[in-house]
Structure 1
Amino acid sequence: MLAGNAAKAGVRFLTYDAIKAQLRLADGSLTTPRMMLAGACAGMVEGLTVVAPSETIKTLLIHDQCLPAPRYAGVGDCIRTAVRAEGLAGVYRGVVPVMARQGANSCVRFAAYDSLRQVIGGPKGGELPFWKTFGLGMVAGTITVYATMPLDVVKTRMQSLAAHSEYRGALHCAYRVVSEEGVRALWKGATPRLSRLMFSGAIVFSVYEQVMKLLR
């Protein structure tokens, strides 16, 4: 969890800042659609390079520990078993919904955060105190949860141990969830995810702002 979160945050902010720098207008400002584009690209790169493999291993381990007789001895054994059984595809199971979810997450989260930041700090985004960036991060995290929860539900089910036998793909998975459990099932688990993303968004954005301030 620690390794995966550190790596994905690094890739996410590096990609977002690099793309955002290319999309800025002549006066240095950035429109909301451009923020969303930069965020979506950052999320998809993050999903492909870091999140898909790390989330697959994490999900496999969590499901395995719920079985009466767990079959994995640890992280290394889980990776070896998945690769041996299905090749690299076993580690990249559900990569399309992962990229879609991460793209949507970053698109909404960065656009919400930077739009609110421009309202408070001006178009060029002046420096803000820690408590303001913390609050903006919480708001951005809340918006992200409810906007992207269906993608997270599909992603999680596609990475479960039974996904290979139950679902033909991400669209088939979404269809079965809606047809068998109703539309509201796409937002199942929103509350625990909200408690996580509210604070993770607040912490990540606040720490990022403080580190960038020191580097400048």
Structure 2
Amino acid sequence: MSMDPKIESPGALKHKFFSPKDAVKKNAGSISKKEDPFEFVQVLLDGAIAGAAAGVVVESALYPLDTIKTRLQAVRDGGKIILKGLYSGLGGNLAGVLPASAIFIGVYEPTKQKLLKSCPENLSALAHLTAGAVGGAASSIIRVPTEVVKQRMQTGHFASAPDAVRLIVAKEGFKGLFAGYNSFLLRDLPFDAIQFCIYEQLRIGCKLAAKRDLSDPENAVIGAFAGSAITGAVTTPLDVIKTRLMVQGSANQYRSISHCVGTILKEEGPSAFLKGIGPRVLWIGIGGSIFFGVLERTKQMLAETRPAK
């Protein structure tokens, strides 16, 4: 008696399902693809190049605003603000900003991707927050000495970056290049984490709503919002403290963050903590727009130059 053609034989059914061995092979293939070391290195390199480009463009475009902000914060008792030499120290600053920005984004991108793969989808904001803080901490090793040299040149302490480094080390030791390190971390780690988290979450929402990749102007607008005026204004007191600790040099007028706060309150009053708020808010708003716009454009250009897999 022949079998009904609609009923498949056990042998045919066997081939319709994955065997445990087939499942292991499939999973092994997906795991190896997920943990491809070449992909990790590519993400790191692309992030480093894009971060370096974005950092250099922002610093070059907005350096005069930063100089005015630094001079307003450094001056005491209503002293006169000099508006000459607004590009003082730009060359030396770019020499430090380029590797610092490269390290920041070079660490941020692969850290973000690793965390997103291991975190539930509804905790993506936590992955972005953590990656921003990790990138900021990694780049601080270069960012802090760069900031110390830049701010002392902006306030007229030195004529060139090499002289600044040499004299700081000679008078204050190597630790002089890391003056204000704790205040820098206190200001920048929360700011970096929040800024990048807001930017990434807004991009995700906008891309889902638009159902397409975002344009350069759209990325720039989101970047400006992420580096919002509110965030810049709220962190201005921390920025004033950082500036005072970095530019004081061997005078050691301020022994610590708490001593700096107490001295400023006693000698200048609470309003001193808002010095430079205008230029800082402008710098952060415009800078966020330029930084993230250049960052995404550079990442896209790098992706387009790679051969298709």
Q: TM-score, normalised by structure 2?
A: 0.61
Residue 203 of structure 1: CA displacement?
1.1
> Which residues in structure 2 correspond to 1:36-185 (within 5 Å)?
36-47=129-140, 49-64=141-156, 72-122=158-208, 127-142=213-228, 143-161=230-248, 164-185=251-272
Q: What is the CA–CA distance in structure 1 between the aligned matches of 2:178 and 2:103, rounded to whole Å?
A: 18
Structure-2 residue corresponding to 1:193: 280
Q: Does 1:9 align with 2:101?
A: yes
Which shifted more, 16-25 or 88-97?
16-25
Structure 1 unpaired stretches of 5+: 66-71
1:46–1:102 CA contact under 8 A, matched in 2: no
Specify the structure having the higher radius of gyration (Cα).
2
Q: Does 1:22 align with 2:109?
A: no
Cα distance, 1:29–1:208 mapped onto 2, change above 3 Å? farther
The residue type paired with residue 114 of structure 1 is E
Summarize deviations over 1:14-68 as a string: whole Å, max 9, x none.
1211221121156767522332121112112222x21110111111122235xxx
Residue 3 of structure 1: CA displacement?
2.2
Cα distance, 1:136–1:90 mapped onto 2, change above 3 Å? same
Structure-2 residue corresponding to 1:68: none
Cα distance, 1:46–1:208 mapped onto 2, change above 3 Å? same
The residue type paired with residue 113 of structure 2 is A
Q: TM-score, normalised by structure 1?
A: 0.85
Summarize deviations over 1:73-95 as a string: whole Å, max 9, x none.
42211111110111111111111
Cα distance, 1:135–1:167 mapped onto 2, change above 3 Å? same
Q: Tell me how many residue pairs correspond in the alignment.
A: 208
1:51–1:98 CA contact under 8 A, matched in 2: no
Structure-2 residue corresponding to 1:206: 293
1:130–1:206 CA contact under 8 A, matched in 2: yes
Structure 2 unpaired stretches of 5+: 1-92, 304-309
Summarize deviations over 1:105-127 as a string: whole Å, max 9, x none.
2112101211211221139x963
Q: What is the CA–CA distance in structure 1 between the aligned matches of 2:212 and 2:108, rounded to whole Å?
A: 18
1:150–1:186 CA contact under 8 A, matched in 2: yes
Cα-Cα RMSD: 2.4
2:172–2:250 CA contact under 8 A, matched in 1: no
